[in-house]
Amino acid sequence: MDFSFRRYIKTIGSPKIFVYTVIWMMVLVFIGTVVQKDVGLYAAQKKYFSSWFIMLFGLIPLPSGKLTMLVMFLNLSCYFFRPHIFTKNKIGITITHSGMILMLVGGLLTSLFSKEGSLVFEEGQKSNFFEDYHLKEFIVIDTSNPDYDQFTAFNNNELYRNNVLEHENFNFKIEILDFYINCRPERRLYGSEETLRGMASNFFLQEIDSEKEYEKNISGIVYRIRGTDDDDGVYINYVGQPITQSLEVDSKQYMLILRRERTHLPFSLELIDFKKVMHPGTDIAKSYSSDIYLKENDISRKVLIQMNEPLRHRGYTFYQASFVEEGLKQTSVLATVKNHGRLFPYISTIIMCIGLLFHMFLMLFKRIKTNDAKS
């Protein structure tokens, strides 16, 4: 191995760097825990753990969670470039390092691919998707074909000011004028120099502060349609809008919807019965559960989801989160999680325990052997 390469490995893999990253990670966890009281859990996670840098006083960049974990990963990985790591004296430490790296890989998978949302359905209703708590999507639906609707979805990363949405499925352009994390519709009292269409002719979107509970935000979008004969102009949409925005272009009918991003399941769930048990003499629910049919490939089986007893199937986990009552209607709300790194913490912890125990007993055996030799 080249001398300069060994020097780099020794520097990057220094135990001091690992100690510093652990201390800094503890500082980030402390700050994030304190700050989330004011800004909310999602905003704190996004700023201190899901970004590469945080700006101190808006001027000084400091490493955030992603960069700290990357440095920790590189530091631990350098150990495997050292010589003689699989000898009897070092095998325990090697196993422990493997477990720690596996835990970091699990964290990376969770950060990149995990999804969280809610599945809401009434008794007798079937659903094969859940809606994300935080992300939004803008949907253009071509309803011209009597046999099927053609959906074109633009994800959350494409919804920002001055971006132009185009697709081969439709021959007009959507220019985003504004996108609001949280807003409310207000009645329009004055006219505008712009040509206002649809709901925008009577209402405008007023941006408001983001909610601490991010999932309560009502996102909104202001956009201009270009490339049509008669429907060019400015439109608005917001999540939960009661009237669907529609337009006609070249004898084709389109619907435009802003909604929470949907993740479609490879199976469907049907709510058979929702049950709740109340605390005696109160209107407070003591427990509640959902009897459902899980349907996949023409095979159906009955499953009970209740508090602290979730359903796990095909990498998805469904928790009984809450419920909604509207008259005689019973609506169940299932918190839904897809996490590819769910098992990594358990596996990596077992591996680290094995490594530490092996090393501890090896050192203990050597100590006993040394004491016997002295006596």
How are beta strands 115-122 and 126-142 bridged, if at all?
Answer: antiparallel
Give the pLDDT band (50/70/90) at residue 39. Answer: confident
The residue among 269, 215, 260, 216 whose CA lies nearest residue 237 is 260
pLDDT given at position 57: 81
Where do we find the tokens 């680290």?
A: 352
pLDDT over 90 (residue 279): no
- Tell me which of 327 and 61 has the higher pLDDT: 61
Residue 160 has pLDDT above 90, yes or no: yes
SS3 339: coil
C-beta separation of 133 from 214 below 8 A: yes
Residue 61: Cβ within 10 Å count: 11
Q: What is the mean pLDDT of the chain?
A: 90
pLDDT at position 191 is 75
**Average pLDDT value for residue range 339-343:** 86
Q: How is the chain split into domains, by residue range?
A: 3-83, 131-262
Over range 211-235, report the average pLDDT.
Answer: 89
pLDDT band at 119 (very low <50, low <70, confident <90, very high): very high
If you ran DSSP here, which 8-state letter would residue 72 be given? H
Tell me the residue type at 164.
V
Question: If you average pLDDT over residues 303-308, what whole number do you get?
Answer: 91
CA distances from 291 to 92, 125, 240, 308 (A): 48, 12, 28, 15
d(CA 263, CA 129): 5
Residue 56 in this model has a pLDDT that exceeds 90 = no
Q: Which residue has the higher pLDDT, 60 or 137?
A: 137
User: Would you place residue 346 in the very low, low, confident or very high pLDDT band (cuts 50, 70, 90)?
Assistant: very high
Kindly state the tokens that stand for 6: 């060994």
pLDDT in the model for residue 22 = 94
Burial class (CB in 10 A: 0-12, 13-18, 19+), 301: exposed
What is the tens place of the pLDDT at every residue in 75-93? 999 999 888 888 888 899 9
Question: Residue 179: its pLDDT value, please?
Answer: 97
Is residue 375 pLDDT above 70, yes or no? Answer: no
- The CA angle 280-282-284, to the nearest 5 degrees, is 105
pLDDT reported for residue 243:
87
- pLDDT, average across residues 18-45: 92
**CA terminus-to-terminus distance, the chain:** 43
The tens digit of pLDDT for each residue in 129-139 reads: 999 999 999 99
Token reading at 181: 């994390």
Task: Indicate if the pLDDT at residue 6 is higher than 90.
Answer: no
AA letter at 104: L
Judge whether residue 127 has pLDDT over 70: yes
